[in-house]
């Protein structure tokens, strides 16, 4: 597999309204996009730091996996996943399967910012929920 860089780091938060001003101060930059991803039951906010982004994830429903994650983490949330930028996501998923990595998404699906995304199972990745994303608009 050959990701080019860390596309973003996902952080689960209870409230974007509270988290955005903090991360704007921490990173010295403004949040440039807020987007709801309906099928994942989350609202996302993005800040850029160099080539990488910080993706803040707020659950929009108690059934959201992000809501469950926050509950498990003392109701506070925390680091949720790391996302690597790849080319030809389908091929990368094939390769991951050949390595015996368990996939959450066997096929790419639509994520925030119009990216194609797929998650690898944390059971296969040393407990780190790992996302691969491809920018097909490039």
With respect to Zn ion, which residue has the nearer C-beta, 13 or 83? Answer: 83
Stretch that binds Zn ion, among 10-18, 28-36, 46-54, 85-93 (CB under 5 A): 10-18
Tell me how long the chain is.
138
With respect to Zn ion, which residue has the nearer C-beta, 26 or 79? Answer: 79
30 contacts 45 by C-beta, under 8 angstroms:
no
User: What DSSP designation does 103 have?
Assistant: B
Stretch that binds Zn ion, among 13-21, 47-55, 61-69, 95-103 (CB under 5 A): 47-55
Choosing from 83, 115, 120, 129, the residue that interacts with Zn ion (CB under 5 A) is 83
With respect to Zn ion, which residue has the nearer C-beta, 9 or 101? Answer: 9
- Six token digits for residue 138: 């490039």
Distance of alpha carbon 104 from the chain centroid: 13
**Rounded distance between C-alpha atoms, residue 22 and residue 68, angstroms:** 23
């Amino acid at each position: 597999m050959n990701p080019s860089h860390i596309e973003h780091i996902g952080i689960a938060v209870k409230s974007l309204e509270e988290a955005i001003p903090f991360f704007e101060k921490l990173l010295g930059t403004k949040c440039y996009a807020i987007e709801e991803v309906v099928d994942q039951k989350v609202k996302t906010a993005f800040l850029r730091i160099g080539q990488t982004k910080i993706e803040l994830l707020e659950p929009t429903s108690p059934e959201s996996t992000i809501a469950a994650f926050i509950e498990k983490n003392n109701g506070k949330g925390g680091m949720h996943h790391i996302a690597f930028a790849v080319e030809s996501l389908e091929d990368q998923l094939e390769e991951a399967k050949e390595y015996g990595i368990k996939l959450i998404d066997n096929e790419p699906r639509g994520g925030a910012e119009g990216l194609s995304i797929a998650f690898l199972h944390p059971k296969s990745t040393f407990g780190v929920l790992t996302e691969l994303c491809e920018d097909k608009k490039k």
